[in-house]
Amino acid sequence: MMETIGWKERVDLPSLGIFGVPAKIDTGARTSVLHCSHIRLIKEAGAPYVEFQALDGRFGATLNTYVRPFHSRRTFRNSFGQEEERYIIRTDISLFGQLYEIELSLRDRSDMEFPLLLGRTFIRKRFLVDVSKANLSKTRIIPDTP
């Protein structure tokens, strides 16, 4: 049975040490996106990595610089029809006490209300969306297992 999520949720990105991030569920977006700045491709020991600052200290997060393995670069068309290239990383996300792998495109969303969008590639076959509800993943109490 699939879990039901609301139109917005608070999620954790434990591999990045980021918790309680406000996320908007966006079934119109294919790829999930995280607000970042100072995004650049670097090489370490000859391998490509993406260096970025997530959340810019906004939304209660500490300003940290992250270095994650480069997954891919894709061209996206924004809501105004303009194309832009973004770097993609893979990380994990926690909802309902469960970890899932997620691909996140990195983009400056400083002018947006939500620092994280969860797109349909992540949502598909995992969750049902009830647009009349919010923050369902944090309201359910998950019992401790021995």
User: How many degrees, rounded to 5, is the angle at CA 54 between CA 47 and CA 38?
Assistant: 65
Q: What is the pLDDT of residue 142?
A: 44
Q: Does residue 114 register a pLDDT over 90?
A: yes
Print burial letters for 74-94: b (CB count within 10 Å at least 16), e (below 16). eeeeeeeeeeeebbbbebebe
Q: Is residue 23 predicted with pLDDT exceeding 70?
A: yes
Please give the DSSP secondary-structure letter assigned to residue 80.
Answer: T
Q: What is the mean pLDDT of residues 119-134?
A: 96
Q: Which residue has the higher pLDDT, 68 or 141?
A: 68
pLDDT score at 111:
84
> Which amino acid is located at 78 in the chain?
N
CATH entry 2.40.70.10 includes domain 3-139: yes
The whole-angstrom separation of Cα 120 and Cα 137 is 17
Q: What is the pLDDT of residues 26-82, one digit of tens each?
A: 999 999 999 999 999 999 999 999 999 988 766 655 678 999 999 999 988 776 788
**DSSP-assigned states of every residue in 25-66:** EETT-SSEEEEEEEEEEEEETTEEEEEEEEGGG-TT----EE
Question: How long, in residues, is the chain?
Answer: 146
Please give the mean pLDDT across all residues of the chain.
89
Q: What is the pLDDT at residue 16?
A: 92
> Which has the closest alpha carbon to 84: 73, 70, 97?
73
C-alpha distances in angstroms, 83 versus 24, 78, 102?
A: 22, 6, 23
pLDDT of residue 143: 46
